[in-house]
Chain A
Amino acid sequence: MTVSPALIYGLTGLALFVIGLAGLLLCPQLLRKILAVNVMASGVFLFLVTIAHGSGALIDPVPQAMVLTGIVVSVSSTAAALALLCRIRENADRRDPSQQKGGR
């Protein structure tokens, strides 16, 4: 059986999704969790782009439009998560100033 590039890309996308999922569940640090979600998103996007390729020579634009929109959503939610993380960090520092130097 010949392995088509589409299959490789699709499986890579799914693998990235699973790796990100593992990171989200297993990493205790919030920043790593946020990064893990981004890895998952990349996996989904790669998978969608693979679908666009399909079997024929023509490339389906719909999944590509989905990926473009998905990237916008992903950027904004990452920004929101990072802002929230900063606020949590500020609060923690205010309550316990001795921890300010280390632990970042």
Chain B
Amino acid sequence: MISPSSSWLIWPIIVPLLGAVLCFLAGKPPRRTGLLFAVLTGGASLVLGWQVLARGIESHALGAWRPPLGISLRADGAAALMVTMTAVTGLAVSIYSGGYFQSRLTGDDRDRRRLAQEQYFWPLWLLLWGALNGLFLSGDVFNIYICLELVALSSVGLTALSGKPPSLVAAMRYLLVSLLGSLSFLLGVGFFYKTCSTLELAAIIGALAPTPPMIMALALVSAGLLLKTALFPFHFWLPPAHANALSPVSAILSGLVIKGTWYLFYRFWQEEILLAAVGALPAILGGGAIIWGAFQAFSQQRLKMLVAYSTVAQIGYLFVAFPLLADPAGMGGPALFYFAISHSFAKGAMFLAAGTFLLQMGHDRIDDLAGVRQILPVSSFAFALGGLSLMGLPPSGGFIAKYLYVTTAITQGRWWLALLVVLGSGLTAAYVFRAVAAILSPRLLEERPQLAVAASMQWSALALALMAMLLGIVATLPLALLGVK
């Protein structure tokens, strides 16, 4: 199935990598180059999504070397959907970043540091984007390991970019946790290779069996991936890293990076043999994450910390539904992916809006944000819409996802899971309302400060929030793409 046209698969990976190199070589902050390559990458990814939807699975053997020796790229519906999701969130974040770095230039002596931040932001972000696409499209476990390391190193660089002591310490912890996760994954790959004598993902998944080396390999790979996805109780590194990073970086980390490792985990764990044996394990950890994360989010004083702990809780939803994957009607997978996409859009919008508040007001203390909607109506609206999707109110992507969760759980007789999802929504509502109440409060600001942020920062967040809403109205397209198997 190798034809010249199917080599479109390489573009969503090559374009951002090329852009990263060019941006790195540019002498001054490469905003134009960065934005250009962000648009090109987004376009290439959307074309791939469209191709898979129209023509079915795409695959490509790099350099015409076929597996088992060569490295294959493969896009089925799930992979194409993740690449498309990354493109939408990535485009919004890129446009936001242009305005963000522009607005932060004030003319005082800290300008040089801020220029340097932008100079390194674009190459790191494009590298991260290319590595994520590589992760989704790669059909070879060792290549996936390389992509995992690329994602980790560029994310750590982005986290450390703000240069403030808390973010440096958070970046260090993030790096160590990531390395531990990658090494565990690599050791697992070693066990896989010893048992299967191949590195091809599909072949390995097809050969899963309850033999001791396979169990060892799966345990190592899964532990590494869970650690990197920050599933409770491995979540400790996430809130400081996500909350202290520069605002566009927070949106990238929460909206996209954790989805990469979650997706890999899904690839291994969607198999019936695993679900039947230990499918309850991710569900139990996910349940713990939903409750613990929501409780922590509710007790935060800073808006970005609240949104970061909310990510801990929402990661729980990504795992709690794993037992539902055994659904004979096959609605478990769509439920999970729908949740992943709407979370990416909604959480991205919320972090972008929170970053706008932080830049405008100079702080993000929730109680002192009252009245901010007078200055930033569009961002406030975007934050509230993102919150609606997170809570799962109609019409939003979050609503469809939770509806699928609950109906599938009830038809399977898993009442506890349905109850947990509903309870989690209530908890989400509690902390979202706490933030939204402050932002939309009718209190007037004593003095109205000058608008200090670019319009693109407000509108890109709103566009992303509207995408989360749109998912609630146009459900057929993503589900059709996911159905390509």
Contact = CB atoms under 8 A, between A and B. Distances in A.
A37 B193 contact: no
Interface string B193-206: 11000010000000
B175 A80 contact: yes
B186 A37 contact: no
Give the size category of A's interface with B: 20 to 34
A27 to B, nearest CB: 11
Given A37-B183, A77-B149, A80-B156, A24 B190 contact: no
A30 interface: yes
Given A24-B176, A40-B180, A63 B190 contact: yes
Contacts of A73: 146, 149, 182
Interface stretch (B166-174, B286-294, B297-305, B348-356): B166-174
B183 A91 contact: no
Contacts of A17: 183, 187
B190 A81 contact: no
Contacts of B328: none
Given A21-B180, A24-B180, A77 B175 contact: yes
A51 B190 contact: yes
Interface in B4-29: none
Give the size category of B's interface with A: 20 to 34
B234 interface: no
Interface string A76-104: 11001100110110011001000000000
Interface string A19-37: 0010010000010011001
A66 interface: yes
Nearest to B186: A44
B67 to A, nearest CB: 12
A37 B172 contact: no
A33 B179 CA distance: 11
Interface string A53-74: 0000000001100100110010
A38 to B, nearest CB: 9
B169 A88 contact: yes
A34 B156 CA distance: 15
B142 interface: yes
B481 interface: no
A76 B153 contact: yes
Contact of A84 (B175, B182, B187): B175
B240 interface: no
B372 to A, nearest CB: 31
- What secondary structure prevails in chain A residues at the interface with B? helix
A37 B184 CA distance: 11
Contact of B165 (A43, A62, A63, A91): A91
A11 B182 CA distance: 20
Nearest to B168: A88
B160 interface: yes
Contacts of A41: 183
Nearest to A78: B179
B180 A85 contact: no
Nearest to A20: B183
A47 B190 contact: yes
A48 B180 CA distance: 17
B185 to A, nearest CB: 10
Contacts of B332: none
Given A17-B183, A40-B183, A77-B149, A48 B190 contact: yes
Nearest to A48: B190
B100 to A, nearest CB: 23
A77 B153 contact: yes
Nearest to B143: A69
B239 interface: no
Residue picked from B157, B169, B194, most chain A C-beta under 10 Å = B194
B153 A80 contact: yes
A21 B179 CA distance: 11
Contacts of A88: 165, 168-169, 172
Given A24-B176, A37-B176, A41-B183, A87 B168 contact: yes
Contacts of B165: 88, 91-92, 95
B156 A84 contact: yes
A77 B149 CA distance: 8
Given A73-B146, A77-B153, A84-B168, A51 B193 contact: yes
Contacts of A84: 156, 160, 168, 171-172, 175
A37 B168 contact: no
Contacts of A85: 172
Given A62-B193, A81-B175, A81-B176, 18 more contacts: A24-B180, A37-B180, A37-B183, A40-B183, A41-B183, A44-B183, A44-B187, A63-B190, A66-B190, A66-B193, A77-B152, A81-B179, A84-B160, A87-B163, A88-B165, A88-B168, A92-B165, A95-B165
6 contacts: A37-B176, A63-B190, A66-B190, A70-B186, A77-B149, A84-B172
Interface of B: 142, 146, 149, 152-153, 156-157, 160, 163, 165, 168-169, 171-172, 175-176, 179-180, 182-183, 186-187, 189-190, 193-194, 199
Interface of A: 17, 21, 24, 30, 33-34, 37, 40-41, 43-44, 47-48, 51, 62-63, 66, 69-70, 73, 76-77, 80-81, 84-85, 87-88, 91-92, 95
User: Top 7 closest A-B pairs, CB basis?
Assistant: A91-B165, A37-B179, A44-B187, A51-B194, A73-B149, A88-B168, A48-B190
